[in-house]
Amino acid sequence: MVAYALAVGAAVGVVALAALVFRKIGKGSDDNDPGGPSVAHAGAMLSALFLLAFAIAIIVPWTKADSARQNTQTESQAAVEAYWAAAGLPDATRDAVRSGLRDYVGFVVDSEWPLMAQGAVDPVGAERVDALRTQVTGLATKSDDVADAQDQVLAHVQDLAAARAQRVIDAGATPPNGLLLLTALSGIIVVLFPLLAGARPRGWSVLPLMALAAMLGFGIYLTWDIMRVFDGPLAVGPDAFRAALQEFARISGGV
């Protein structure tokens, strides 16, 4: 934050110094017109700055949500593939592994998903994945078929663990620090700029400013509302995991 303040102060200082130097050497002319070149240039640049910050504040969460949605598909599909592969394990181990997978996916849907809206996850989920991996790794194989099934289950559980680790990152991800503040500050300045430049709108000319303020206010609120991947209008839901639970039931009924 100190570096940001110093950068702003340095930029303002450059403008003040340049204005003083040009005044001393007698270059240019006074510009007090609200529609003059100084105001026009500053207004255009401020509008461009706001649009840039607003676009980044929208695009970053949008793309992050899309990536997180694909990752939930990867994680849930890994659980389904592990469930299928467990069919080649001995009966007792197969049932235990499948029960562990059902419990894990149900835990993610019922207990962990509400926490992710707050940018957190439950460490119990990682413990459940580790328990599954330990259970399959500790199986004493007596045939090549069982060994192959064991390797397949382990590979899918590893894929599940990797996708979970990415989901943990996605849950805590937010746009760059200061971006929301820059968006809000530049939006406020854009709304107030005509008044700061010396214009005094009267009558019907006030309505466009009010409409602009309303639209910018809604846009700034939207950028704040979609900051988290698992909360807000763009929130990624646990649909993929619910589908996995249905797939578990189908597989168990057919195997």
Where do the domains of the chain lie?
36-254
pLDDT of residue 79: 94
**CA angle (99 as vertex; 150, 148 as ends), nearest 5:** 10
Contact 172, 116 (CB under 8 A): no
Give the DSSP H or E segment for 250.
Answer: helix 239-254
Is the model's pTM score more than 0.85? no
Across the range 174-200, mean pLDDT stands at 80
Across the range 237-249, mean pLDDT stands at 93
pLDDT of residue 198: 72
**Distance in angstroms (rounded) separating the CA atoms of residues 58 and 56:** 5
Return the amino acid letter for 102: R
Report whether pLDDT(219) > 90. no
Across the range 191-203, mean pLDDT stands at 76
pLDDT of residue 241: 94
Confidence grade of residue 103 (pLDDT, cut at 50, 70, 90): very high
pLDDT of residue 171: 87
Which of 102-111, 176-185, 237-246 is least confident? 176-185
| Helices 91-107/239-254 angle, 10° precision | 160
pLDDT of residue 22: 54
For 108-162, write each residue's pLDDT tens digit: 999 999 998 888 888 898 999 999 888 888 877 778 888 888 899 999 999 999 9
For 18-77, write each residue's pLDDT tens digit: 556 656 665 655 556 555 566 676 777 888 888 888 888 888 888 888 999 999 999 999
Confidence grade of residue 191 (pLDDT, cut at 50, 70, 90): confident
Give CA separation, 57 vs 9, 182, 184, 220, 232, in Å: 24, 10, 11, 9, 14
Query: Could you tell me where the DSSP H helices lie in 86-143?
Result: 91-107, 113-116, 123-137
Give CA separation, 97 vs 66, 136, 232, in Å: 31, 8, 35
Higher per-residue pLDDT: 175 or 254: 175
Higher per-residue pLDDT: 109 or 16: 109
Q: Which SS3 state, helix, strand or coil, does residue 63 take?
A: helix
Higher per-residue pLDDT: 209 or 84: 84
**Mean pLDDT, all residues of the chain:** 82
Q: What is the token pair recorded at 166?
A: 């990415």
pLDDT of residue 154: 92
